[in-house]
Amino acid sequence: RKKFKPAVPGWVYLDTYVYLHGNQRLKIENCRRILEYHEVMVRLQTMDMIIEIWGTGLRVFDYGDSSVTVTGKISSVNLTEKS
């Protein structure tokens, strides 16, 4: 039985993936760090953008393995490309 071997060993995915579940849960994959965190705003840095999440009762969970989940009542998400 052959095992799958990636073409590039240790391949790192650098694209940012944003998953929005209604207005109460947002998951961002490939997050580099949390820049700011308040009950009404969370600002995150990825490889290619800054993501601002605005709402009420915001909480950050599951920060690890380069992903983060934000829960609460999300009112807006702003994506700004890094220059």
Residue 21: per-residue pLDDT: 95
Per-residue pLDDT of the chain (83 residues; tens, 9 = 90+): 555 555 555 555 578 899 999 999 999 998 999 999 999 999 999 988 999 999 999 999 887 778 899 999 999 999 999 87
Residue 8: per-residue pLDDT: 52
Residue 53: per-residue pLDDT: 97
The token pair that represents 23 in the structure block:
């207005």
User: What residue ranges in the chain does DSSP mark as E strands?
Assistant: 17-21, 25-29, 31-37, 41-46, 49-64, 67-81
Residue with tokens 């071997």: 5
